[in-house]
């Protein structure tokens, strides 16, 4: 029971990775508050749904989680969006959405959660960045910029708040077999199953990640087993480099 007595807040909890993270945390003893647009189908101790583009909602969320759970020891900034296309095809709305969800929301949540954790002797924050935020690829400039910003924020906070017993790390996945990935293929007129099969063939380990395989790393980083890790960017890519 790695998380017995721990209290966690997970964003993007209704998605593939988020739901897997919540299940693992709860199975190992944590009480979990979740947030998404609609997390009703995600089992948790507290549902605090709302819009991560709403600054006031983000500023208040860690405090609401603390009140609902009796404390806050773990923050998982998992929510994210992906915008495709080169810079000439992106819009101001694309920019606002991508930077709002992928950068501003984690910034605000970390800013609000760190004082809560500091009062009780520490905690763990795990951000979901991306391999693309560490090794930029092609035709995703907004997504890459946002995930690079989150990676740099992780490294900075990891150093700044280690003396308070607050460990901040990030997982950096490559492709993951989530509803978001499959919806992206469908939007582009591709058959999701065939597209995933093609991606599987490009990965040295033989398949793109399943949500649980990323959740395993997130929960490791949130656990005491990662007690000496601060500001780490952990790439989880099945051996596949960014193309």
Give 146-150 contacts, CB < 8 A, sequence gap 24+: 146/98, 146/99, 146/102, 146/103, 147/80, 147/102, 147/172, 149/99, 149/102, 149/103, 150/77, 150/102, 150/103, 150/106
At residue 223, the 3 state secondary structure works out as coil
> 162 to each of 38, 40, 93, 159, how far by Cα in Å?
34, 35, 36, 6
Q: Which pLDDT score is estimated for 179?
A: 80
Q: Which residues contact 5 (CB under 8 A, 6 or more apart)?
A: 29
Q: Which pLDDT score is estimated for 202?
A: 94
Q: Would you say how long the chain is, in residues?
A: 243
Alpha carbons 22 and 29: distance in angstroms, whole number: 11
Nearest Cα neighbor of 7 from 123, 111, 112 is: 123
Residue 96: CB atoms within 10 A of its CB come to 12
Q: Which pLDDT score is estimated for 183?
A: 82
Residue 8: CB atoms within 10 A of its CB come to 28
Residue ranges, the chain, pLDDT below 50: none
Active site positions, annotated: 143, 147
The highest-level CATH class for domain 7-174+212-234 is alpha beta
Q: What does the domain layout of the chain look like in residue ranges?
A: 7-174+212-234, 176-208
Q: Which pLDDT score is estimated for 71?
A: 98
Q: Which pLDDT score is estimated for 84?
A: 86
Alpha carbons 130 and 150: distance in angstroms, whole number: 9
Q: Which pLDDT score is estimated for 60?
A: 98
Q: What is the pTM of this model?
A: 0.95
């Amino acid at each position: 029971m790695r998380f017995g007595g721990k209290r966690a807040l997970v964003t993007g909890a209704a998605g593939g990775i988020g739901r897997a993270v919540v299940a693992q945390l709860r199975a190992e003893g944590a009480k979990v508050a979740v947030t998404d647009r609609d997390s009703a189908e995600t089992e948790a101790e507290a549902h605090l749904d709302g819009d991560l583009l709403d600054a006031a909602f983000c500023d208040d969320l860690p405090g609401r989680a603390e009140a609902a759970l009796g404390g806050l020891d773990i923050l998982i900034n998992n929510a994210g969006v992906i915008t495709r296309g080169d810079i000439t095809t992106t819009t101001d709305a694309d920019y606002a959405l991508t930077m709002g969800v992928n950068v501003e929301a984690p910034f605000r949540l970390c800013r609000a959660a760190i004082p809560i954790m500091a009062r009780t002797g520490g905690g763990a924050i795990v951000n979901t960045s991306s391999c693309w935020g560490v090794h930029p690829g092609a035709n995703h400039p907004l997504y890459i910029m946002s995930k690079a910003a989150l990676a740099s924020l992780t490294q900075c906070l990891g150093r700044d708040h280690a003396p308070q017993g607050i460990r901040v790390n990030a997982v950096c996945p490559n492709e993951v077999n989530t509803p978001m990935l499959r919806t992206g293929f469908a939007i582009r007129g591709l058959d999701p199953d065939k597209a995933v099969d093609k991606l599987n063939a490009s990965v040295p380990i033989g398949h793109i990640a399943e949500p649980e395989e990323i959740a395993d790393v997130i929960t490791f980083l949130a656990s005491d087993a990662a007690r000496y890790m601060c500001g780490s960017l952990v790439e989880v890519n099945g051996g596949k480099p960014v193309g």
